[in-house]
């Protein structure tokens, strides 16, 4: 597949080398990015968590420790530097990290320190926890979070408030999977009630204020949600506020690289978004720019 300038993912590129729940090596993931025809491929490996209580059940089962998470992330930072240079001319690789919001009282300093230490090209800010309880992990934990918040509506409000606080704290370049709460919610659950919409709108106002790009995250298809993150009402609301989107395949292995991108392209056009906002590298510097989407999903030049 030929490289097309709208083929940009700013969220994904996780690999089994550096992430327990991903597969293959970073090199294999980048080879898949070249094969897919990505113009720019942002690698945003998970920043390590700093406390044992945040280890995932699968990590615990394999004997992972906080020290190991740190060691692997440090190795990742070195590897992505080397590989970004090596893949030059084939695909533009951006070196990034996906930040966490735990621990609540310390994540800001931790995440900013990781970013600074390795001089990453960019940061994806994601909310995987509400009040330190996992949003997208095992369903039982999500349910416990909902119960603690006093129901789904207050939980969702709290989630979007956490997104707003994260954006204020980290000033990420990209905000990951804006409505991740859909993943573990019961199918058909009302996640767009007036109080939830107001909270989402407050978060979007902060996102707009700090000029962040929203992740059009195609993992939503993979998770059986029928659409990417975020849902159509959020896409339209963000677009009305003139907040830009960029694709994120949220790949956790070569097979997922580019997955859902054509569909996501169609989805944006169907929701009235005809231009994306990308990060890429030009003359050695990371730049932010607008890229027109093509009017037909085959990616052929627009017919006027
Ligand atoms: Zn992951
Ligand atoms: Zn994520």
pLDDT in tens, 29-69: 999 999 999 999 999 999 999 999 999 999 999 999 999 99
What spacing in Å lies between the alpha carbon of 222 and ligand 1's midpoint? 13
Ligand nearest to the backbone CA of 128 = 2
What spacing in Å lies between the alpha carbon of 239 and ligand 1's midpoint? 27
d(CA 16, CA 45): 10
Across 24-28, 183-187, 229-233, 293-297, least confident range: 293-297
Asked if residue 129 has pLDDT above 60, the reply is: yes
d(CA 43, CA 61): 27
Ligand nearest to the backbone CA of 175 = 2
- Dihedral sign of CA atoms 46, 48, 53, 59 in order: positive
Note the pLDDT tens digit of each residue in 243-280: 999 999 999 999 999 999 999 999 999 999 999 999 99
Quickly count: other Cβ atoms within 10 Å of residue 255's Cβ: 12
Determine the pLDDT at residue 163: 99
Q: Which two tokens stand for residue 172?
A: 């990420």
Tell me the average pLDDT of the chain: 96
Q: What is the mean pLDDT of residues 183-195?
A: 96
Q: Which two tokens stand for residue 30?
A: 């980048």
Note the pLDDT tens digit of each residue in 101-116: 999 999 999 999 999 9
Determine the pLDDT at residue 294: 83
CA nearest to 161, candidates 124, 113, 115, 129: 129
Note the pLDDT tens digit of each residue in 196-236: 999 999 999 999 999 999 999 999 999 999 999 999 999 99
Determine the pLDDT at residue 301: 46
Ligand nearest to the backbone CA of 135 = 2
Ligand nearest to the backbone CA of 177 = 2
d(CA 136, CA 122): 23
Q: In degrees, to the nearest 5, what angle opens at C-alpha 11 toward C-alphas 5 and 17?
A: 115
Determine the pLDDT at residue 204: 98
Asked if residue 302 has pLDDT above 70, the reply is: no
What spacing in Å lies between the alpha carbon of 79 and ligand 1's midpoint? 18
According to DSSP H, which parts of the chain are helical? 26-36, 57-61, 66-86, 107-118, 139-149, 152-170, 194-209, 219-222, 232-240, 261-270
d(CA 154, CA 165): 16
Determine the pLDDT at residue 296: 61
């Amino acid at each position: 597949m030929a490289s097309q300038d709208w083929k940009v993912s700013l969220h994904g590129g996780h690999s089994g080398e550096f992430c327990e729940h991903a597969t293959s090596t970073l090199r294999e993931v980048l080879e898949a990015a070249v094969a897919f025809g990505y113009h720019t491929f942002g690698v945003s490996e998970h920043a390590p968590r700093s406390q044992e209580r945040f280890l995932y059940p699968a990590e615990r089962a394999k004997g992972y420790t906080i020290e190991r998470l740190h060691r692997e992330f440090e190795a990742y930072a070195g590897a992505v530097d080397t590989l970004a240079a090596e893949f030059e001319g084939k695909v533009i690789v951006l070196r990034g990290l996906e930040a966490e919001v735990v621990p609540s009282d310390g994540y800001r300093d931790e995440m900013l320190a990781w970013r600074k230490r390795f001089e990453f090209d960019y940061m994806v800010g994601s909310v995987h926890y509400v009040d330190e309880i996992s949003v997208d992990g095992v369903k039982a934990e999500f349910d416990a979070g909902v119960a603690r918040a006093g129901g789904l509506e207050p939980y969702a409000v709290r989630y979007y408030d956490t997104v707003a606080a994260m954006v204020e704290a980290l000033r990420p370049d990209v905000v990951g999977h804006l409505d991740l709460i859909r993943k573990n919610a019961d199918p058909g659950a009302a996640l767009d009630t007036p109080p939830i919409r107001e909270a989402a709108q407050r978060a979007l106002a902060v996102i707009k204020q700090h000029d962040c790009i929203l992740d059009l995250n195609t993992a939503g298809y993979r998770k059986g949600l029928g659409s990417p993150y975020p849902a159509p009402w959020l896409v339209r609301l963000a677009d009305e506020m003139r907040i830009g989107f960029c694709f994120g395949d949220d790949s956790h292995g070569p097979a997922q690289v580019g997955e859902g991108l054509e569909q996501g392209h169609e989805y944006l056009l169907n929701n009235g978004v005809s231009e994306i906002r990308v990060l890429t590298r030009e003359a050695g510097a990371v730049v932010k720019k607008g890229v027109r989407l093509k009017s037909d999903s085959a990616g052929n030049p627009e017919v006027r």
